[in-house]
Chains A and B, each alone.
Chain A
Amino acid sequence: MERDSLIINLEDISFSYSGDKLVLDHLSFQLRRGDRIGLVGPNGSGKTTVFHIIMGLLRPSSGRIELFGKPAEEERDFRTARGRIGLLFQDADDQLFCPTVLEDVAFGPLNLGKSPEQAREIALTTVARLDLSGFENRITYKLSGGEKRLVSLATVLAMDPEVLLLDEPTNGLDEQTEGKITDILKGLDLSCIFISHNLDFLMRTTDRIYAMANGKISLDEALAPHPHIHTHEFGRLPHKHER
């Protein structure tokens, strides 16, 4: 597929939970190959809902979804697309359900039809790639919050997706783990959408940041220079910051 081809195309999507207020209100959104997009917006503005609509976990009340150039309407259409789009859930405990790290990472590849040997190989490589070697036989529920997040990311990357949808990947992480995830994500040559409240993180990992409000997604491209007041030790000495 050429570089600029449409991967995700949402047209005029409306969605509401239990019939009341529209969470997505005639929303349209495109992701092209190679796009790296950040998505910001207040709590409850429907960011996660957009991800779930793309994956076919929720069905819109109206509108059209196209994934990889094909209309996606039924479970079958989404099932094929899910092998090519990786979604990282907000809460790692939702994602990790196998007893050991290795099995959890191998779960996706096994579902995609890999043999146990191949799946084990893929899982080991992915785990090593995320600097988690030695974690293979750790019990998933006994990991720390940061470790859980990294392992969840490994479970998604092990499926070798073409698109990555991450829902608040840095939420609740310490600086060190956040830095690690940022580095990993910067190094990936994938199309992606990251939901986050962490603008610093988005500036480092994405090319464009969209905002979500009133059930729609919009792009704010104008660069707005703005001063910051901030404090830190030795702040009295003259100094510069990178950005």
Chain B
Amino acid sequence: MIEEQFSTGESFVHGLDPRIKIVVAIPFSVVVAVSSSFLALFAALAMSLFLLVLTRLSARKVFYRLLLVNGLILFLWLLIPFTFKGEALFTIGPLVGTKEGVLYASRITLKCNAILLAMIALLATMPVFTLGHAMSQLHFPDKIIHLFLFTYRYIHVISQEYHRLVNAMKIRGFIARTNIHTYRSYAYLVGMLLVKSYDRAERVYKAMLCRGFSGKYYTLSQFSIKRGDIVYLALMSAAILGLVILQWSAIA
């Protein structure tokens, strides 16, 4: 269902303490998200490409993942240049593309790709549940971690339930068409899935209560910080600081 295809590997980055990677990922994405200077954004993109190279992941798989997100960004390119007020840059029939619009869309594209690449390099290089545990050791709120881990665990169960229901429809000759019967059947399907998930959540919670759950999620894993982690953290902090300075000097 969800393949964690980047989570295992032999690279230096895969061996880093997961907490360090989270600690680097958060300020990096915040700084990139609020930056507007093209110099800073290109530097950020270069930095995340460098991070990605360190992970030695298959370039092809990363590229496919990027395509997915950039497909969405393509829609922004269809809208933003024509809806932003400013100096006219080009015209297509009755539509006028503005310079400001193009710059704005470029910024979004750069930011998205830089952040996405960094997330692949930092967060996707560990199994999802390790990510959850590392978050808990970093004292993220328990509720966020529970939501995160449970969503991950039960997406599979819900998808199985979905496929069971779809099969139940198929074996009774259901074919999706453009008519009320189809819409109604799909509405039933979604409704049933919601009800079932709700019931499931209820039973899981009860099962947890039976095993002594009282709101606190304890974990087995213990991480250890090695010298490589410290070096990585120091270099990345310096690089993120560099991005801040680039952005700052651009405003000033």
Residue B96 interfacial (CB < 8 Å) = no
Query: Which of B149, B152, B154, B212 counts the most chain A CB atoms within 10 A?
Result: B212
Residue B190 interfacial (CB < 8 Å) = no
Report the tally of A-B residue pairs with Cβ distances under 8 A. Answer: 84
Chain A residue contacts of B220, Cβ below 8 A: 102-103, 106, 110, 116, 119-120, 123
**Given A102-B220, A111-B213, A57 contacting B153 (CB threshold 8 A):** no
Tell me if B206 and A108 are in contact (CB < 8 A): no
Tell me if A97 and B153 are in contact (CB < 8 A): yes
Tell me if B212 and A141 are in contact (CB < 8 A): no
- With beta carbons under 8 angstroms apart, the residue of A57, A99, A106, A140 that contacts B209 is A57
Chain A residue contacts of B203, Cβ below 8 A: 89, 91, 94
Task: Tell me the chain B residues, 106-127 only, with Cβ under 8 Å from chain A.
Answer: 127
In the bound complex, CA of A87 to CA of B203 (Å):
12
- With beta carbons under 8 angstroms apart, the residue of A56, A89, A111 that contacts B212 is A111
In the bound complex, CA of A18 to CA of B220 (Å):
40
Chain A residue contacts of B153, Cβ below 8 A: 97-99, 140-141
Query: Which of A93, A100, A103, A108 counts the most chain B CB atoms within 10 A?
Result: A93
- Not counting A52-B206, A98-B153, a sample of 12 additional A-B residue pairs whose C-beta atoms are within 8 angstroms of each other reads A82-B209, A89-B207, A94-B200, A94-B203, A95-B207, A97-B150, A97-B208, A100-B129, A103-B129, A106-B220, A107-B211, A116-B221
Q: Interface on B for A, CB 8 Å cutoff?
A: 127-129, 149-150, 152-154, 156-157, 200, 203-204, 206-214, 218-222
The 10 closest A-B pairs by CB, nearest first: A111-B212, A110-B218, A99-B129, A108-B211, A94-B203, A87-B210, A57-B206, A141-B156, A95-B207, A94-B207
